[in-house]
Amino acid sequence: MYSPYPTPPIPSRIIEVATSLDPALTPLGFAAGQPGGAGQAGQVIFCRGNVGSEDGSCIDLVIDVELSAEWRITDVRYWGFPSDRWHLAFDREAGIADQLEKLARTLPGILGLAAGGDG
């Protein structure tokens, strides 16, 4: 990716969110996760194209990550749901490895149903 100025490297834990969830999400029509961030915060965006979109635009699953004492996922949002359901439930207190394992297991069912699949 071209940038007119040097950008700091993306922390490896943010990249790990993308690589850990790609196998669970790409079969549902999401593009591979796009990690971004620097320092102690970042996010990974998984674009689902226009599956279920009312205006034909990309519907994103956004996962926010922060470093406090250790890396943790701090928010999971799916724009394909009504606004009162954008924020998806997950274990905020678990370490990132456990969070990723649980999300990889549960997101296909939640998001498969959002696309009108069997879930």
Report the relative pairing of strands 60-67 and 34-38 from DSSP bridges.
unpaired
CA distance 105 to 84: 23
The domain spans of the chain are 12-114
CA separation for the pair 46, 98 (Å, rounded): 20
119 pLDDT exceeds 80?
A: no
Give pLDDT, residue 61: 93
Q: What is the pTM of this model?
A: 0.83
Q: Residues 74-108: pLDDT tens digits?
A: 999 998 787 788 889 899 999 999 999 999 999 99
- pLDDT attached to residue 65: 96
Per residue in 5-63, pLDDT (tens digit) is 777 889 999 999 999 999 999 999 899 999 999 889 999 999 987 655 565 667 899 99
pLDDT at 67 over 60: yes
pLDDT at 101: 96
Burial 72-91 (b: 16+ CB within 10 A, else e): bbeebbbbbbeeeeeebebe
For 85, the 3-state DSSP assignment is helix
The tokens describing 32, both together, are 């591979």
